[in-house]
Chains A and B, each alone.
Chain A
Amino acid sequence: MKKRTLLSTHHLLRTALTLAFLGASACTLAQQKSAADGIAEYRAMIADGNPAELFEAKGEDLWKKKRGPKNASLEQCDLGKGAGIVKGAFVELPRWFADTGRVQDLESRLLTCMERLQGFDPGALARTPFGKDEQITLEALSAWISAESKGMRFKLPQNHPEERKQFEIGKRAFFYRGGPFDFACASCHGEAGKRIRLQDLPDLTNNPGDGVGFAAWPAYRVSSGELWSMQRRLNDCFRQQRFPYPGYASDVTIALGVYMGVNAKGAESIAPALKR
């Protein structure tokens, strides 16, 4: 709701800016260059002091705090490297979990832990809108857990047949065209060196580089002042793709996570990053 107001303000801002530029007359190429440089300078100025740190601190607290109907902490949660091991877990997710018989990403795994250890209803957690109630918990937890693998390189396991199957299905979901615009994930992220407006688009069919694309989420969004998890990032991609609404931690989001994560092999994680 707040978001709508914000978006329309942005729209007005951009219109105003366009009008301002209509008055300008310098060479397009030079303008292009300076705009890109200017934005790079801006990003460098705000890089130090990423408010994502506030969410990391909160996430660490929430991990250790006794909560939920069972009044238990998440300290015994197995994120794939054994109960309670957080460091290095993030750069290997999504992966196969024998106890649930599923491939899970960070957030669907957190739903499992919050259900089994703390007694929360995972369906209710998944239905909670982003930025509200226990979703705030999930966002903070993903900020902290990802931060514990900061600087490490992605190496998703592909040993289990189900992990390989999810990669194949995720690839097909990535190229799945639909909706009134005929868009797929690949429409924007299938090729290197492209932009939407001035925004660089990472090629997610390959490793687009350290701290880019898959290796940059969760992130603090400057525009809304919120911490966006990968689930929320994907949700907004599908919104802009003009698709229906993807369920939180639904199969398609996990399969896409496997596809993008495996492609990002070797990329250094900078999550939680800072994004426009």
Chain B
Amino acid sequence: MADPMRIRAQSAGGKATVRVLMSHEMETGLRKDSGGKTIPAWFIQEVSAQLNGKTVMTAQWGPAISKNPYLQFMIKGANAGDKVTVSWVDNKGDKRTDEATIS
């Protein structure tokens, strides 16, 4: 199973800034190993975020996102104590969901 994300969410002025680190190889599928064999692509394709269970953001990513991805976005109308959930799914169907409380 994939390693957990690190999610930090801080509210200020009715907006919450969410910063997420995800643990993922983000292999492009363009690199070769020492034997000249192509290392198969393996990357996060879809990311979504929910505020108290309601989807507020979805994104699609290609393999050009860096290894161990970082994402920052801002949710409107979010306050301290609200729950932010972030999920990702990669091209192999692996997935991960983690939750954080807005501070």
A–B contact with Cβ pairs below 8 Å: the answer is yes
- The chain A residues found within 8 Å of chain B, CB to CB, are 1-2, 4-6, 48-49, 51, 53-54, 57-58, 220, 225
Docked-complex contact A51 and B21, CB < 8 angstroms:
yes
Q: Which of B21, B23, B31, B32 contacts A49 (CB 8 A)?
A: B21
A53 and B39 contact, CB distance less than 8 A:
no
How distant is B27 from chain A, measured CB to nearest CB, in Å?
9
Check if B29 is an interface residue, CB within 8 A of chain A. no
Q: Check: B67 CB closer than 8 A to any chain A CB.
A: yes
Assuming the contacts A49-B21, A49-B70, asked whether A2 and B6 have C-beta atoms less than 8 A apart, the reply is: no
Cβ of A51 and Cβ of B31 under 8 Å apart?
no
Q: Judging by beta carbons under 8 Å apart, are A1 and B3 in contact?
A: no
Whose C-beta in chain B lies nearest to the C-beta of A4? B34
Q: Provide the residues of chain B in CB contact with A54, threshold 8 Å.
A: 3, 5-6, 21-23, 68
A225 near B6 (CB under 8 angstroms)? no
CB pair B4 A49 closer than 8 Å:
no
* Structural contact, B21 and A58, CB atoms closer than 8 A: no
| A-B pair number, CB within 8 angstroms | 40
Interface centre among B4, B21, B33, B68 (most CB of A within 10 A): B68
Contact indicator B34/A58 (Cβ below 8 Å): no
- Please state if B21 and A53 are interface contacts (CB–CB under 8 Å): yes
Q: In angstroms, how far is the closest chain B Cβ from the Cβ of A128? A: 18
Given A51-B23, A54-B6, A54-B22, 5 extra CB contacts under 8 A: A2-B33, A49-B19, A49-B70, A53-B21, A54-B23
Q: Assess the A53–B3 pair: CB atoms within 8 A.
A: no
Instruction: For B71, give the chain A residue with the smallest CB separation.
Output: A49
B2-30 CB contacts (< 8 Å) to partner A: 3-6, 19, 21-23, 25
Query: Which of chain B's residues have a CB closer than 8 A to the CB of A4?
Result: 34
Can you list the 4 inter-chain pairs with the closest CB atoms, starting with the nearest?
Answer: A225-B67, A51-B68, A1-B34, A49-B70
Residues from chain B with Cβ under 8 Å of A57 in the complex = 3-4, 6
Q: Which residues of A contact B33 (CB under 8 A)?
A: 1-2, 5
Q: Determine how close the nearest CB of chain A comes to the CB of B93; give it in whole angstroms.
A: 21
Bound CA–CA A233/B83 (angstroms) = 39
Bound-state CA distance A222–B25 (Å) is 13
Q: Is B103 an interface residue (CB 8 A)?
A: no
Nearest chain B CB to A218 CB, angstrom units: 15
Question: Which chain B residues numbered 38 to 73 have a C-beta less than 8 Å away from chain A?
Answer: 39, 66-68, 70, 72
Query: B66: which A residues are within 8 A, CB to CB?
Result: 225
Q: Which residues of B are found within 8 Å of A220, using beta-carbon distances?
A: 68
Closest CB of chain A to B64's CB: distance in Å?
14
Complex Cα spacing A48 to B23, Å? 16
Residues on B with C-beta less than 8 A from A48 are 19
Residue of B nearest to A49 (CB): B70
Give the docked Cα–Cα distance between A1 and B39 (Å): 11
A residues near B23, Cβ cutoff 8 Å: 51, 54, 58
Greatest chain B CB density within 10 A among A1, A51, A53 is at A51
Q: Which residue of chain A has its CB nearest to the CB of B3?
A: A58
A37 to chain B, nearest CB (A): 23
Q: List 13 A-B contacts (CB under 8 A).
A: A1-B34, A2-B33, A2-B39, A5-B32, A5-B34, A49-B21, A49-B72, A51-B23, A51-B68, A54-B5, A54-B23, A57-B4, A225-B67
